[in-house]
């Protein structure tokens, strides 16, 4: 009888935890921090732990601290750990000093290596891991430029082919392009979807992001987009 009761107790804990509403987490850079990323579902909650200037490398270094903060907030709110949404929009591939692209093979390999370590770790903790793709920085590119020739596209391809297959990867950068000669291009007119610094995204830009193919239907951006 004691053995039966012990087995039931061991199974009851995880089952009860799954009945708690989820607390999702947003990780990433300053664009992710102001993105308003969250859930459309009323029972869900989201905390945003994105940090200005963050890269995949810095997130890899800080991941234990970040996860500890997420766990603490979930426990205090009586919630379980939900999904992790990670959005690094370009600090890995555009120079913070000059704004110019720096997407060398070495840079891309370092970025994808750190991204793989981060997402591998999160897969063991979160219900799901969703990674949004990088976005072109218009002041760092010579316009007009075909989307496939941008540093953001090079990083997107690297991430798509190196992240663990369990990661849900959503390419969102193409949303802020325009069609020229039947191909996606970054042109001067795309500036309307960015703030004045041409790095952060405007409300109109976030609304376009919300229509990205493959974005889970429960995820929303700021202002309800």
In a domain, 66, yes or no: yes
Q: What is the DSSP letter of 171?
A: -
In a domain, 200, yes or no: no
- For the segment 5-28, the average pLDDT, to the nearest whole number, is 70
pLDDT digits (tens, 9 = 90+) for 116-154: 999 999 999 999 999 999 999 999 999 999 999 999 999
5 has pLDDT over 50:
no
215 has pLDDT over 80:
yes
Provide the pLDDT for residue 103.
Answer: 84
Provide the pLDDT for residue 57.
Answer: 97
Q: What is the DSSP letter of 193?
A: G
In a domain, 225, yes or no: no
d(CA 212, CA 173): 9
pTM for this structure? 0.90
| Burial of residue 110, with CB atoms counted within 10 A of its CB: 0-12 exposed, 13-18 middle, 19 or more buried | middle
Q: Which residues of 75-89 are buried (b: 16+ CB within 10 A; e: fewer)?
A: eeeebbbbbbbbbbb
Higher pLDDT, 110 or 102: 110
d(CA 45, CA 33): 16
pLDDT digits (tens, 9 = 90+) for 52-73: 999 999 999 999 999 999 999 9
d(CA 147, CA 158): 15
pLDDT bracket for residue 47 (50, 70, 90): very high
Contact in structure between 107 and 73 (CB atoms under 8 Å): no
> HEC states along 87-119?
ECCCCCCECCCCCCECCCHHHHHHHHHHHHHHH
d(CA 189, CA 186): 8
Provide the pLDDT for residue 4.
Answer: 47
In a domain, 97, yes or no: yes
Nearby residues of 67 by Cβ (< 8 Å), 6 or more positions away: 121, 122, 125
Provide the mean pLDDT of the chain: 92
- For the segment 23-31, the average pLDDT, to the nearest whole number, is 98
In a domain, 195, yes or no: no
In a domain, 199, yes or no: no
In a domain, 186, yes or no: no
- For the segment 103-128, the average pLDDT, to the nearest whole number, is 96
Contact in structure between 22 and 44 (CB atoms under 8 Å): yes
Task: Give the residue numbers spanning the domain of 103.
Answer: 1-136+148-173+212-220
In a domain, 114, yes or no: yes
Among 65, 59, 53, which Cα is nearest to 86's? 59
How many domains is the chain built from? 1
pLDDT digits (tens, 9 = 90+) for 69-84: 999 999 999 999 999 9
14 has pLDDT over 70:
no
**Domain CATH number, residue 9:** 3.40.50.1110
């Amino acid at each position: 009888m004691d053995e039966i009761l012990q087995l039931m107790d061991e199974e009851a804990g995880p089952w009860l935890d799954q009945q708690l509403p989820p607390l999702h987490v947003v990780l990433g850079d300053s664009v992710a921090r102001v993105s308003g990323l969250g859930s459309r579902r009323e029972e869900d909650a989201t905390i945003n732990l994105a940090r200005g200037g963050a890269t995949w490398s810095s997130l890899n270094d800080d991941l234990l601290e970040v996860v500890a903060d997420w766990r603490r907030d979930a426990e205090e709110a009586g919630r379980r750990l939900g999904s992790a949404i990670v959005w690094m929009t370009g600090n890995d591939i555009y120079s913070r000093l000059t704004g110019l692209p720096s997407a060398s093979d070495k840079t891309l390999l370092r970025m994808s290596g750190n991204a793989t370590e981060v997402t591998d770790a999160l897969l063991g903790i979160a219900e799901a891991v969703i990674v949004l793709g990088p976005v072109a920085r218009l002041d760092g590119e010579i316009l007009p430029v075909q989307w496939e020739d941008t540093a953001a596209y090079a990083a997107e391809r690297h991430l798509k082919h190196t992240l663990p297959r369990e990661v849900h990867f959503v390419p969102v950068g193409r949303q802020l392009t325009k069609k020229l000669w039947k191909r996606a291009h970054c042109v001067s007119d795309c500036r309307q979807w960015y703030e004045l610094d041409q790095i952060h995204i405007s409300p109109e830009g976030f609304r376009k992001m919300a229509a990205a193919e493959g974005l889970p239907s429960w995820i929303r951006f700021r202002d309800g987009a």
